Structure 1
C-alpha cells in the first residue's frame, strides 16, 4: 500500500469508528497490507484487494476468547 492509501484509510476508519487514536501503519516487507492499531495495541490487518475490476480493502480483526473475558 502506498503512503497515500494508508493516510486515506486511516482517516476513513477514524471517522467511521469515531476514534482519533486509531492508526494505520505500513507493514515491513509487505506492500499488500497494513496494520491497524488503537494507541499501542495492535487490533488487525487491512488487506488491499485489487484482483477484481474494483479496488477494495478488507479489514481482518481476530477476537480471542480471553479478550472477551476481560470486559
Structure 2
C-alpha cells in the first residue's frame, strides 16, 4: 500500500506570469497489523493440532491500510 503521489501546483498572476511547483507525497505504511491469538490449550494425541475448530483461531485482525486480513 505504499505509493508516491505527485501533485503540480500552478499560480498565474493578473499579467499572465506563471509559476509551477511540484509537491511529492510519499504514502507509507509503518504500522504493523494486530490480532489476538487464542488461549493456550491441551488436546488429546489423536486430535489434529491443525484443526482450528479444536485449537482456536486468531481474532480481531486489524490493519490501518488493509481489509480482509486472515492470519
Fold in common (TM above 0.5): no
TM-score range, shorter chain: under 0.3
Q: Which is richer in helix? A: 1
Structure with larger RCO (C-alpha < 8 A, sep 6+): 2
Normalising by structure 1, what TM-score? 0.22
Larger Rg: 2
Normalising by structure 2, what TM-score? 0.22
